Amino acid sequence: MASIKGFLFTIGFLLFSVSLLSFIVIIFATNYQEDKRVSEIGALDRINTLDSSAQNSLKKIFEAFSNINVSLYASNSNYVIFNETLPNDVKTFRTSLNDFKIFVEQNFPYISINTSELNDTIPLIVMPDKIVYHHVPIDNDATNQIIVTPEELTPNSRLRGYNVIVTHLPDIFCIPTTFPQGNNYFSLTITASTIGIPGTPSTCSIPNQLIDPNLANIVQIGGVIDPDSYLRIEVSNGGVLKIKNTQNSGVVATILRLDNIEGNQTKVMLPDSIIRVSDPTLNIYKKGTARILWFTIIKLIQVLIKPVFIN
């Protein structure tokens, strides 16, 4: 009998030890998972903080040094307005951008800034339409051609036309313009004016002309003092807009006329994946870009843009 009691006691103690050991393992695993989760949350918080700081810094650099102003005017349609002087000296912008990249990557080893596309063409993307506003550089210091490229233009697209307003040209020679006939559903409005030199024409204008955006619609405004200088505006190849100015000055307002879709958000962004933040220990990373402008139709806030831009 004593041996049976001893055997049962041994079995009971063994079962108790196994249960206690299992309980300890469960507690240890739970604590480990909690510690791991805390580490992941902390890493995500650091990544989000770095990403947000980089976005804000890029936005400030763009606004301060790109010489491109982006704004919105909302009425029956959405108007996205880009203002800049053409040619545009962007040397300071490129220098500031590269200085920012060097500073960030030297001081924060887990963040990288891809500035190659920004340095080359200074692109801006209008979302959700994926319309790209960018430039063709003439040298390392300036850009003299604006290009607007829709993703895909059809009669049902939200992009309905362009308004181009050019001011402060040295002089103007209005060259007669005729447009090719085709599927005319896209509107083009052009107004050009000088800085007011006596004895020269002061304005050239084409009001609300319906065009076929797939054909070559070209408007050329020449210089009087210098015949080799000109302003050239072209819409072709599915609504691609090109504005080229070889005169020594000209303030260009490029206006995208978009249909108003309630509840839709219009955003102007820098290219995607400029910023990449990672935590290699936990294998967590985040890609992002900077938002230059944001607008929601359903929460309409009147933006103070003078209606002189809208024809």
Q: What is the pLDDT of residue 225?
A: 60
> Cβ-count burial of 195 within 10 angstroms (0-12 exposed, 13-18 middle, 19+ buried)?
middle
> Coil, helix or strand for 27?
helix
Beta strands in the chain (DSSP E): 68-74, 77-85, 88-89, 111-113, 124-127, 131-137, 142-149, 159-169, 173-174, 186-194, 203-211, 217-222, 230-236, 240-245, 251-259, 265-269, 275-279, 284-288, 291-296
12 within a domain of the structure (yes/no): no
4 within a domain of the structure (yes/no): no
Range of the domain at 226: 36-309
How many domains are there within the chain?
A: 1
pTM of the complete model: 0.78
Sequential pLDDT tens for the chain (311 residues): 556 655 555 655 555 555 555 555 555 555 445 445 545 555 566 777 777 888 888 899 999 998 999 988 765 568 899 999 988 888 888 899 999 889 888 888 788 888 888 888 889 999 888 999 999 876 655 678 899 999 888 888 889 999 999 988 887 888 888 899 888 999 999 998 887 655 555 788 888 899 999 999 999 887 666 666 788 899 999 999 999 888 778 899 999 999 877 666 788 999 887 888 877 666 667 777 888 886 544 333 333 333 333 33
3 within a domain of the structure (yes/no): no
119 within a domain of the structure (yes/no): yes
Q: What is the pLDDT of residue 12?
A: 56
5 within a domain of the structure (yes/no): no
267 within a domain of the structure (yes/no): yes
> To 10 degrees, what angle do helices 91-107 and 2-65 make?
160
16 within a domain of the structure (yes/no): no
Residue 236 tokens, joined: 């072709």
How many Å is the maximal CA-CA distance in the chain?
Answer: 129
6 within a domain of the structure (yes/no): no
